Amino acid sequence: MRYSRPARIILGILVIALFFGYQTLRLRDCVMSGDLGESNRNSDVFSSQEIQELPQPEYDLPADMQAPGDMQVSDDMQASSDTQVPADMMTDPAAAPEAAPEATLSPMMQTAADNAAALGLPMPPNINIGDWQYVLVNGDHPIDPPYYEPSNLVYLNMTGDDTDIRTEYDGNRQVVDGMIAPALIEMVQACKAAGLPVYLSSGYRSYDSQAANFQRVNNNNGITDGKDGEGNYITMPAGCSEHQTGLCIDITDRYWEIKNDAIAETPTVQWLAENCAQYGFVLRFPVEKRGITHVMGESWHFRYVGVEAAQYMTENNLCLEEFVALYGVA
């Protein structure tokens, strides 16, 4: 096929243009390949070393978008070689809760603790020794005022056949301070449940009643001060008897016209001596403590001091004088 002259000229121009275009593309590819080094002219993959050598762009990222490696770690913490711990997950010593301060004892309890430790005794109960149940009444600590009378006297069945707590006077029932009545009834009922008889023989006595009792005992024993030959009280002077507080009770197995040492051998009194502490009572005048109480042994006389104090006194063989002395009461 023969082309006209003009057509041959146009075709020649196109061939020359294509040739120069092809050469231009080859030259650009060679320049780019040469910049990457000899080893990568035939590869589209960069080695890790080459990537690290490439210039890295710098960006100012917000703090919450920083990579873990950019995070700051406090001097007293070491990040794992494998893992960087974000700063907001680390323990801040300043934010740790402070240790609770050690409890401090009141001056009274500190005295009790020191006195107990000096005697080789365990820590005494944390009580207010000025509360009503710990009042100390004896020959050296008379009642003040002398004619004191409890404001809430109640009347109980003497043999525990009923558990009524009556507030109206009844000469056929025994009278005590109403604050000890529930515990006393509970103890009496437990003793009876053990198969033992109970008799409430003497509770509250007024100042005048104790004065008459003191005179009667003195007359019967040919004495004037209420004391036996060893200097221990057989009966207390008016105003110095626990019976006036209404916080104590004489308990026997039956009515005894004259109380004596034989009562200590009765099962009822033995049960009471062994179990009274769990009801808040203590045997007030043990024979072995008469050198401290200055009262002859009375196996029938039980005093309310509360369960906590009663158990501590019983477990550590303390009479009331010894117990209150721990707290600084002379």
Which DSSP string corresponds to 77-142? ----SS-PPPGGGS--GGGSPPPPPPPPPPHHHHHHHHHHHHTTPPPPP---TTSGGG---BTTB-
Tens digit of each residue's pLDDT (9 = 90 or more) over 142-154: 999 999 999 999 9
Q: How many other CB atoms are there within 10 angstroms of residue 287's CB atom?
A: 15
Tens digit of each residue's pLDDT (9 = 90 or more) over 22-38: 565 554 554 444 444 44
Listing DSSP states for 168-200 in one string gives: S--TTSEEEETTTHHHHHHHHHHHHHTT---EE
Q: What is the pLDDT of residue 35?
A: 44
Is residue 273 within 8 Å of residue 299, measured between CB atoms?
Answer: yes
Give per-residue burial for 120-143: e unless 16+ CB within 10 Å, then b.
ebeebbebebeeebbbebbbeebb
Q: Which long-range contacts (CB under 8 A, 24 or more apart) does 283-286 make?
A: 284/242, 284/248, 284/319, 284/320, 285/319, 286/319
Q: What is the pLDDT of residue 164?
A: 98
- Average confidence score pLDDT of the chain: 83
Distance (Å, whole) CA 62 – CA 269: 86
Distances (CA, A) of 128 to 33, 135, 308, 309, 327: 97, 11, 12, 11, 9
Helices (H), 36-68: 48-53
Q: What is the pLDDT of residue 110?
A: 97
* Residue 197: both structure tokens together: 């008889």
Query: Chain-centre distance of CA 54, in angstroms?
Result: 69
- The reply to whether 100 falls in a domain is no
Q: What is the pLDDT of residue 7?
A: 65
- The reply to whether 294 falls in a domain is yes
- The reply to whether 252 falls in a domain is yes
The CA angle 179-185-189, to the nearest 5 degrees, is: 165
Distance (Å, whole) CA 116 – CA 327: 9
Domain housing 224: 127-326
Strand partners, 174: 156
- The reply to whether 108 falls in a domain is no
* Residue 184: both structure tokens together: 């006393």
- The reply to whether 288 falls in a domain is yes
- The reply to whether 166 falls in a domain is yes
Give per-residue burial for 317-328: e unless 16+ CB within 10 Å, then b.
ebbbbbbbbbbe
- The reply to whether 165 falls in a domain is yes
Strand partners, 176: 154
Low-confidence ranges of the chain (pLDDT < 70): 1-7, 11, 15, 17-102
Q: What is the pLDDT of residue 16?
A: 72
Nearest to 154 by CA among 200, 120, 118: 200
Count of domains observed in the chain = 1
Distance (Å, whole) CA 57 – CA 118: 79
Burial class for 291, CB neighbours closer than 10 Å (0-12, 13-18, 19+):
exposed
- The reply to whether 70 falls in a domain is no
Domain at 131, CATH number: 3.30.1380.10
Nearest to 294 by CA among 136, 157, 166: 136
- Side chain identity, residue 238: A
